Structure 1
Amino acid sequence: MLAKAWCECWMKKPQLLSFLRPITTVPHTFLPADYVYLKNRELHALIKRRDLNAALSLFHNMPLHDTVTYNLIISGFREQPERALRFYAEMGSLGIGESSTTLSSIVAVCTKAAFFREGVQVHCRVVKLGFSCNVFVGGALVGFYMRMGLSGVALELFDELPERNLAVWNVMLRGLCELRVKVEDLLGFYSRMRFEGVEPNGVTFCYLLWECGNQRRLHEGKTIHGCVWKVGLVEPNVFVANALVDFYSACGCLVGSRKCFEAIKNENVISWNSLVYVYAENSLLCEAFEVFSIMQLWGQRPSIRSLVGFLNLCSRSGELCFGKQIHCLVMKMGFDEGSVHVQSALIDMYGKCRDIEGSMAVFECLPKRTLECFNSLMTSLSHSEAVEDMVELLRLVVDEGLVPDEVTISTTLKALSVSALSSFTGSQSLHCYALKSGLGGDAAVACSLMDAYSRCGHVDLSHRIFESLPSPSAICFTSMINAYARNGMGKEGIAVLQAMIERGLKPDKVTFLCALSGCNHTGLVEEGRVVFESMKSLHGVDPDRRHFSCMVDLLCRAGLLYEAEELLLQAPGKRDCFMWSSLLRSCRVNKNEEVGTRAAQVLLELDPDDPAVWLQVSNFYAETGKFEEARQIREVALARKIVPELMKHLAHYSHTIRQSCQFAELMEMFPGIVRSCLFGQSYNLRERFPLGGVLGCGHVEIVARSDIEELKSLESFDTEEETEVEELSDIPSWRSELGGKVLVNIDSFGAAGDGESDDTEALQKAWGSACSTPKSVMLIPQGRRYLVNATKFKGPCADKLIIQIDGTLVAPDEPKNWDPKLPRVWLDFSKLDKAVFQGSGVIDGSGGKWWAASCKKNKSNPCKGAPTVRTAFLTLLALTIDTKLMELKVSAPGDSPNIDGIHISDSTNVIIQDSKIGTALEVLGKKVILDTAVLRETTNGLRIKTWQGGCGYVRGVRFENVRVGKCVQPHSHRPILL
Structure 2
Amino acid sequence: MLVSTLKPWWSWMQKPLLHSFIRAITTLTPIPPHTFLHLHNPSDSVIYLKNREIDAFIKLRNLNAALAVFHTTPLRDTVTYNLIISAFRNQPNHALRFYAEMGLRGIRESPTTLTSVIAVCTNAMFFKEGVQVHCRVIKFGFTCNVFVGGALVGFYAHVGECGVALDLFDELPERNLAVWNVMLRGLCELDRVNVEDLMGFYYPRMLFEGVQPNGVTFCYLLRGCGNQRRLEEGKKIQGCVLKMGLVESSVFVANALVDFYSACGCFVGARKCFEDIENEDVISWNSLVTVYAENNMLIEALEVFCVMQVWRKRPSIRSLVGLLKLCSRSGEHCLGKQVHCHVMKFGFDEGSVHVQSALIDMYGKCMDIESSVNVFECIPKRTLDCFNSLMTSLSYCDAVDDVVELFGLMFDEGLVPDGVTLSTTLRALSVSTLASFTSSQLLHCYALKSGLGGDAAVACSLVDSYSRWGHVELSRRIFESLPSPNAICFTSMINAYARNGAGKEGIAVLQAMIERGLKPDDVTLLCALNGCNHTGLVEEGRLVFESMKFLHGVDPDHRHFSCMVDLFCRAGLLHEAEELLLQAPGKGDCFMWSSLLRSCRVHKNEEVGTRAAQVLVELDPDDPAVWLQASIFYAEIGNFDASRQIREVALSRKMTREIGHSLTEIRQ
Is the TM-score greater than 0.5?
Answer: yes
1:270-289 equivalences in 2 (<5 Å): 270-289=283-302
282 and 8 in structure 1: CA distance in 2 versus 1, 3 angstrom threshold:
closer
The structure carrying a bigger helix percent of its residues is 2
Aligned to 1:756: none
Deviation at 1:578, TM superposition (A): 2.2
Q: State the AA in 1 paired with 2:645.
A: Q
Task: Specify the code of the residue in structure 2 equivalent to 1:557.
Answer: R
Cα drift, residue 77 of structure 1: 6.1
Inter-partner Cα distance in structure 1 for 2:430 and 2:63: 50
User: Which structure would you say has the larger RCO, counting Cα contacts within 8 Å and 6 or more residues apart?
Assistant: 2
Q: 1:167 to 1:583 in 2, by over 3 A?
A: same
Asked whether 1:224 is paired with 2:230, we answer no
Aligned residue for 2:18? none
Distance 1:14 1:176 in 2: 39
Is the aligned partner of 1:538 residue 2:547? no
Q: Secondary structure at the match of 1:504?
A: coil
Match of 1:305 among 314, 318, 321: 318
User: Could you tell me which residue of structure 1 aligns to residue 661 of structure 2?
Assistant: none
Question: Per-residue displacement from partner, 1:295-335 (whole Å, max 9, x unpaired)?
Answer: 11111111112211222222223332322222222122111
| Deviation of the 1:83 alpha carbon | 7.7
Shift of 1:27: 8.9
Q: Deviations over 1:732-771 (max 9, x none)?
A: xxxxxxxxxxxxxxxxxxxxxxxxxxxxxxxxxxxxxxxx
The amino acid of 1:486's aligned partner reads R
Residue 343 of structure 1: how far off its partner (Å): 1.0
Q: Which residue of 1 aligns with 2:17?
A: none
Alignment check: 8 A CA contact 2:31 2:106 kept: no
Of the candidates 158, 164, 173, which is equivalent to residue 169 of structure 2? 158
Secondary structure class of the residue paired with 2:616: helix
TM-superposed deviation, 1:446 = 1.1
Report which stretch shifted further, 250-259 or 65-74. 65-74
Determine if the alignment matches structure 1 residue 375 to structure 2 residue 388.
yes
Given the superposition, is the C-alpha separation of residues 80 and 314 from structure 1 closer, same or farther in structure 2, using an over 3 Å criterion? closer
Deviation at 1:389, TM superposition (A): 1.9
Which residue of 343, 353, 369 maps to 2:366? 353
Which amino acid letter does the alignment assign opposite residue 398 of structure 2? E
Distance across 2 between alignment mates of 1:286 and 1:426: 46
Paired-residue identity, %: 73
On the 8 A contact 2:494/2:510 being kept in 1, the answer is yes
Distance in 1 (alpha carbons) for counterparts of 2:370 and 2:30:
47
Given that residues 340 and 370 in structure 1 are in contact (C-alpha distance below 8 angstroms), is that contact kept between their aligned partners in structure 2?
Answer: yes
CA distance in 1, matches of 2:324, 2:299: 14
Q: Compared with structure 1, are the counterparts of its residues 399 and 79 closer, same or farther at alpha carbon in structure 2 (3 Å cutoff)?
A: closer
Looking at structure 2, the residues matched to 398 and 69 of structure 1 have their Cα atoms a distance apart, in angstroms, of 33
Look at both structures and tell me which one has the larger radius of gyration over its CA atoms.
1
Residues 486-501 of structure 1 aligned to structure 2 (within 5 Å): 486-501=499-514
Deviates more, 1:352-361 or 1:290-299: 352-361
Match of 1:341 among 354, 378, 400: 354
Aligned to 2:204: 195
**RMSD of the TM alignment (CA)?**
4.1
Distance 1:602 1:431 in 2: 50
Q: Please tell me whether residue 603 in structure 1 is matched to residue 603 in structure 2.
A: no
CA distance in structure 2 between the partners assigned to 1:154 and 1:428 by the alignment: 36
The separation in 1 between residues aligned to 2:608 and 2:530, in whole angstroms, is 24
Unaligned runs of 5+ residues in structure 1 are: 1-5, 30-34, 646-978
| Kept after mapping to 2: 8 A contact 1:488/1:518 | yes
Which amino acid in structure 2 is aligned with residue 530 of structure 1? L
TM-score normalised over the length of structure 2: 0.81
Q: C-alpha displacement at 1:449, in angstroms?
A: 1.1
- Alignment of 1:294 with 2:307, yes or no, is yes
Which residue is 2:444 aligned to? 431
AA paired with 1:143?
G
Decide which of 151, 168, 192 is 1:140's aligned counterpart: 151
Matched, 1:569 2:565: no
Return the alpha-carbon distance in structure 2 between the equivalents of residues 45 and 83 of structure 1.
20
Alignment of 1:174 onto 2:185 = yes
Cα distance in 2 for partners of 1:15, 1:326 equals: 57
In structure 1, distance between residues paired with 2:309 and 2:182: 36
Aligned-residue offset at 1:600? 2.9
Q: Kindly indicate whether residue 651 of structure 2 is the aligned counterpart of residue 634 of structure 1.
A: no
Unpaired runs of 5+ residues, structure 2, are 1-20, 659-668
Question: Alignment partner of 2:315: what SS?
Answer: coil
Structure 1 residues 376-413: Cα deviation after superposition (integer angstroms, max 9, x where no partner): 11112212322222222111112222111111111111
Residues 779-812 of structure 1: per-residue CA shift (max 9 Å, x gap): xxxxxxxxxxxxxxxxxxxxxxxxxxxxxxxxxx
- 2:467 matched to which residue of 1? 454
Distance in 1 (CA, whole Å) between partners of 2:452 and 2:281 is 40
Given the superposition, is the C-alpha separation of residues 377 and 14 from structure 1 closer, same or farther in structure 2, using an over 3 Å criterion? farther
Q: Say if 2:613 and 2:630, in contact at 8 Å, map to a contact too.
A: yes
For 2:654 and 2:178, locate their aligned partners in 1 and report how far apart those are by CA, in whole Å.
Answer: 72
Partner amino acid, structure 1, of 2:192: K
Partner letter of residue 595 of structure 1?
A: V
The alpha-carbon distance between structure 1 residues 511 and 374, as it changes in their structure 2 partners (threshold 3 A), is same
Q: How many residues align?
A: 624
Provide Cα deviations, 1:317-372, integer angstroms capped at 9, x if missing partner. 33323222222221221111111111111111222222222122111111111111
Partner of 2:594: 581
Q: Is the 8 A contact 1:7 1:123 kept in 2?
A: no
Matches for 1:457-536 after TM superposition, within 5 Å: 457-536=470-549
Partners of 1:576 and 1:423 lie apart in 2 by 37
C-alpha deviation, 1:477, in angstroms: 1.0
DSSP-derived class of the 2:551 partner = helix
Structure 1 length normalisation: TM-score? 0.57
TM-fit CA distance, 1:462: 1.1
| Alignment partners' CA distance in 2, 1:595 and 1:158 | 69
CA separation in 2, counterparts of 1:641 and 1:276? 54
**Residue 602 (structure 1) shift:** 2.7
**CA 1:537–1:404: 2 relative to 1, 3 Å:** same
Mean Cα deviation higher: 625-634 or 69-78: 69-78
Q: Distance in 2 between matches of 1:511 and 1:83?
A: 42
120 and 590 in structure 1: CA distance in 2 versus 1, 3 angstrom threshold: closer
Mapped to 2, the partners of 1:65 and 1:454 lie a distance apart of 55
Question: CA 1:273–1:638 in 2, change beyond 3 Å: closer, same or farther?
Answer: farther
2: CA distance between counterparts of 1:411 and 1:172? Answer: 34
